[in-house]
Amino acid sequence: MKPEKALIFELSQPGRVAYSLPECDVPDIEPASVIPQSMLRETPASLPEVYEVDVIRHYTELSRRNFGIDNGFYPLGSCTMKYNPKINEDVARLPGFAKIHPYQPEESIQGALELLYTLQNDLAALSGMDQVTLQPAAGAHGEWSGLMLIRAYHESRGEKRTKVIVPDSSHGTNPASATVAGYETVTIPSNARGLVDLDQLRAAVGSDTAALMLTNPNTLGLFEQQIEEIAQIIHDAGGLLYYDGANSNAIMGITRPGDMGFDVVHLNLHKTMSTPHGGGGPGAGPVGVKSRLIPFLPKPVVGRREDGTYYWDTDRPDSIGRVKAYYGNFGILVRAYTYIRTYGPEGLRQVSENAVLNANYMLKRLAPHFEVPYPGVCKHEFVLSGKRLKEYGVRTLDVAKRLLDFGYHPPTVYFPLNVEECIMIEPTETESKETLDAFIDTMIQIAREAESDPQLVLNAPYTTIVKRLDEATAARKPVLNCSC
Ligand SMILES: *Cc1c(COP(=O)(O)O)cnc(C)c1O
């Protein structure tokens, strides 16, 4: 057996330092002369005193316990975990982008403004919208911003509409954003094929409908073929169509929400456009609108003068105002711009074609081993149901835990809510056939283990630092304030 390394928890020793700084050339100031008495510290902060090597080892060790797209396959449905090309990082680190300041005068940041202006236009062209704001910092933030635009639009016409309709397969952020934007959500059940049920939709729509929030392909990975009729129903009632474009991986260069009849769309650059995702890092959820909503866009947007110079367009009297400090997560926008330029229109179309191909390949190979609630061709992702394994006492959660032993991040589980024991897989276009096959073989192996040795699956994972957690106790006796 491998000997256990003795764990030393307390690395701090008085007097050890991990830095050397030049002598301070600022004259000593008595803290009490500049800091209010009530804010003065009475005892020195107890910071760890360690050597540089201790700090490096500590953080390197922690980083090795993490999982990311750079160390393994991450087939998380609905959240597009695709490879983040390193050229994006190189460009974002160019001093002309990395070292500018939001308060700099316009003349000194013309290149950055040109980049933002071009990105606004690229995203508008990709989504079929007329104008885009880059301010929102995440998908959910984009949804809320888009709904505030919808509210401003209806109010400008003297209409008070109170309801937002969402299908039962919708992403949880949709009803949440609608609620935060002050709307009542109305959930409509999907039909037997996993699509919007037009009769249910007709029954739910009325003069109080502000919008329908939808994604197409939907969260089951299925394309809403009746989208034009859906748009007609909503528009006839005076409502607007909101497109949740968090994952546009299936449609780039093939079809556009604007052409399907949508009025407002948000895009997640940290999904589709390959910018880093997860770990709480910054994201970007730009929002595009059709022309009748342009006056309400958050300000400023980037404008271009006739002489070719760029400027912050703040003269927008009907704007809903700012939705974020400064101008959005600029470094992320640079990465997304780089991604779009690297691929170009043809390349982006190929990205989508390969994403759809990969998903269908996996679906075909996995179908005999799991249940497929909505058979047929999928788009960039698909759902399976693990309910067949329940007869052996194994649930989807157990399959997900067992995958950890093989070095995979599990797919999304138990979402969408309308599929029992749901497993939602999105391979993305950036994975090789060998990676897809290895993952598929592992899934098949786990399904066999569930039949022949369910306990093996129920006790997983075995190879991770944290083993199976006691979920019942965690739910019944949660420790929410850990001072350990
Ligand atoms: C990820 C996602 C969102 C939310 O995006 P965040 O950036 O996590 O706020 C919304 N809708 C769908 C379909 C998503 O997959």
76 occurs within a structural domain? no
271 occurs within a structural domain? yes
Statement to judge: residues 19 and 114 lie in one domain: no
Verify whether ligand 1 is closer than 6 Å to residue 119 (CB atom).
no
Q: Answer for the pair 136, 266: CB distance below 8 angstroms, yes or no.
A: yes
Atom nearest to 285 CA in ligand 1: 7
Statement to judge: residues 33 and 139 lie in one domain: no
Statement to judge: residues 50 and 188 lie in one domain: no
Of 342, 371, 402, the residue at which a domain comes to its end is 342
* H-only helix segments in 129-226: 139-156, 173-180, 198-204
Ligand 1 binding pocket mutation candidate from 81, 173, 213, 270 (most atoms within 8 A of CB): 173
Peptide bond into 416 cis (omega under 30): yes
Backbone angles phi, psi at 233, to 5 degrees: -60, -45
Verify whether ligand 1 is closer than 6 Å to residue 215 (CB atom).
yes
Residue with tokens 């990082």: 89
- Cα separation, 188 vs 203, in Å, equals 9
Statement to judge: residues 128 and 244 lie in one domain: yes
Give pTM, 2 decimals. 0.90
Whole-number Å distance, alpha carbon 335 to ligand 1 midpoint, is 19
Verify whether ligand 1 is closer than 6 Å to residue 167 (CB atom).
no
Statement to judge: residues 123 and 103 lie in one domain: yes
Whole-number Å distance, alpha carbon 347 to ligand 1 midpoint, is 24
Report the number of distinct structural domains present in the chain.
3
- The half-sphere exposure of 228 on its side-chain side, counting CA atoms within 13 A, is 2
Containing domain of residue 281, as a range? 86-342
Of 291, 318, 342, the residue at which a domain comes to its end is 342
10 occurs within a structural domain? yes
Which tokens is 71 given? Answer: 């160390």
Residue 97 pLDDT: 97
Of 14, 30, 65, the residue at which a domain comes to its end is 65
422 occurs within a structural domain? yes
Q: What is the CATH number of the domain that holds 438?
A: 3.90.1150.10
Statement to judge: residues 116 and 4 lie in one domain: no
256 occurs within a structural domain? yes
Nearest to 278 by CA among 374, 129, 110, 409: 409
The burial of 311, by beta-carbon neighbours within 10 Å (0-12 exposed, 13-18 middle, 19 or more buried), is given as middle
Statement to judge: residues 148 and 8 lie in one domain: no
401 occurs within a structural domain? yes
Statement to judge: residues 325 and 364 lie in one domain: no
75 occurs within a structural domain? no
List of the chain residues with pLDDT < 50: none
Residue 201 pLDDT: 98
Residue located nearest, by CA, to atom 1 of ligand 1: 79
Residue 245: enclosing H or E segment and its boundaries? strand 240-245
Statement to judge: residues 337 and 391 lie in one domain: no
In whole angstroms, how far apart are CA 165 and each of 75, 212, 335, 434? 29, 5, 34, 42
Q: What is the dihedral of CA 404, 405, 407, 409, to 10 degrees?
A: -10
Statement to judge: residues 155 and 194 lie in one domain: yes
Q: Answer for the pair 217, 249: CB distance below 8 angstroms, yes or no.
A: no
In whole angstroms, how far apart are CA 19 and each of 15, 45, 50, 475? 12, 17, 10, 43
Statement to judge: residues 238 and 316 lie in one domain: yes
Backbone angles phi, psi at 98, to 5 degrees: -75, -25
Whole-number Å distance, alpha carbon 242 to ligand 1 midpoint, is 14
Residue type, position 221, single letter: G
Query: What are residue 425's DSSP bridge partners?
Result: 76, 382
53 occurs within a structural domain? yes
Residue with tokens 């409502």: 239
Q: Number of helices (H) and strands (E), helices first, in the chain?
A: 15, 12
Whole-number Å distance, alpha carbon 419 to ligand 1 midpoint, is 19
Statement to judge: residues 108 and 133 lie in one domain: yes
